[in-house]
Structure 1
Amino acid sequence: MGADNRMYPVPWSSLPDFVPHNWVRYSGETSLQEMAESMCDSCLIKDGDNLIGSSLGGMVACEITKIRKIRRLYLIGSAAQKEEVSRLLTFLHPLVKVAPIELVRLSAGKVPLELAQMFADAESAFVRTMCAAIFKWDGLGRTTTQVLRLHGRHDMVIPPPKSVDLLVDGGHLIAMSHARECVQFIATQERMRVRS
């Protein structure tokens, strides 16, 4: 939530044509669908692209597959439907309306960790609205896009779904903590696709 291109450190740049995108400047989008539309326009996402999305970014990428003809979608520690989000977070999400996100966001900036810095840089209105939007989302649904799922065995935000293509010994942020394994898996999948 609120992560930016720092979520994809080296070796992500070794993937051919890999372009990490930051969230668009928040302009009052109230749903994942609206956010997907803004991302498509701002980031020039086109038919035939492959998408990689982590956490909320993966959920928005699911929505992009409804707008563009995406060839392949890699969900990294993400959900294909709201029911996959942790039951505890599902139970607590109504509190986001009153949670002091601005205070937490500013406090996170004091922690010298890359993730805390990303959260500190995120817009509070974006975080608050997208937290609520997740639990109103109708999910990926039927798609012609090939979806591959990479997940951390110990993810407590979005526990591993029943069917996973790559399961690593990590938590929710495997795009950062297990970047090498994720990149190797994706590179292998792309080589196999080219050969077939």
Structure 2
Amino acid sequence: MKAYCISGLGADQRVYDSLDLKYEKVPLNWIKPHKNESLKSYAMRLSQNIDKDEKFIIIGVSFGGLIAVEISKILKPEFTVLISTVEKSSELPIHYRLISKINFIKFLHPKFFNLPFIIASFLFGTKNPLLKDILKDSDLSFTKWAINSLLKWKSKENIENTLRINGTSDLILSSKNQIFK
């Protein structure tokens, strides 16, 4: 069985380097979004990289968890692991929902999303030097699309066979809701 791993916003498969699994880890690398593409549509296109002929699990961290939720609704994996993320749009922090009403993200230049390491390390709850490399390698246009699509995301139902793991230091998408279900 394969474990398809979806990294967080601006990150890549390196976030899974120290994760030891009994399954083969297969990174689902970000693809270029279409203009004004919804999270659901993007997830559907990304899911084309999954081998549906054998059983699989999906692991998503932070923004990658939202994509994992949408893929899980479509493909029904054996199991979905959500790390530092939410499962439904109603679980998004209140300030995200308020920002979505204003809809000003589309007017910001992508360079606005280039966070200094000190701010990013506070928000992500880590001082790991890998974060510096990940930030340096980030595609800011993708980051802008992702934040905008996150703010427009509407997901109301829970998915089946899910393990949720939320830490206490991640301030981006961590849900205060249950850890196991």
Residue 75 of structure 1: how far off its partner (Å)? 0.5
Residue matched to 1:25:
32
Q: Which of 153, 156, 180 is the matching residue for 2:168?
A: 153
Which of 91, 104, 111 aligns to 1:102? It is 111
Decide whether aligned partners of structure 1 residues 162 and 106 sit closer, same or farther in structure 2, where only a CA change above 3 A counts: closer
Equivalence map 1:35-184=2 (5 Å): 35-41=42-48, 43-46=49-52, 48-92=55-99, 94-102=103-111, 104-105=113-114, 113-139=129-155, 141-143=157-159, 145-165=160-180
**TM-score normalized by the length of structure 2:** 0.74
> So what's the TM-score if we normalise by structure 1?
0.69
Q: What residue ranges of structure 1 are gaps of 5+ in the alignment? A: 167-196
Matched residues, number: 161
User: Quick check: 1:5 aligned with 2:13?
Assistant: yes
Q: Deviations over 1:160-184 (max 9, x none)?
A: 3321129xxxxxxxxxxxxxxxxxx
The alpha-carbon distance between structure 1 residues 29 and 119, as it changes in their structure 2 partners (threshold 3 A), is farther
Flag the 1:56–1:17 CA change in 2: closer, same or farther, 3 A. Answer: same
**1:36 offset after TM fit, Å?**
0.7
For residues 3-46 of structure 1, the C-alpha deviation after alignment (integer angstroms, 9 at most, x for no partner) is 11111122x254321222221233436111111112111x2242
Aligned counterparts of 1:45 and 1:79: Cα–Cα separation in 2: 25
Q: Deviations over 1:102-139 (max 9, x none)?
A: 2543866xx99322332332322221122111122222
Report if the CA contact (8 A) 1:89-1:157 is conserved: no
Q: Which amino acid aligns with 1:72?
A: F
Alignment RMSD (CA, Å) = 2.8
- Partners of 1:76 and 1:150 within 8 A in 2: yes
Tell me, in whole angstroms, the C-alpha distance in 2 between the residues paired with 1:52 and 1:162: 18
Change (3 A) 1:97 1:28: closer
8 Å CA contact retained: 2:89, 2:155: yes
Mind listing any 5+ residue stretches in structure 2 that lack a counterpart? 1-8, 121-127
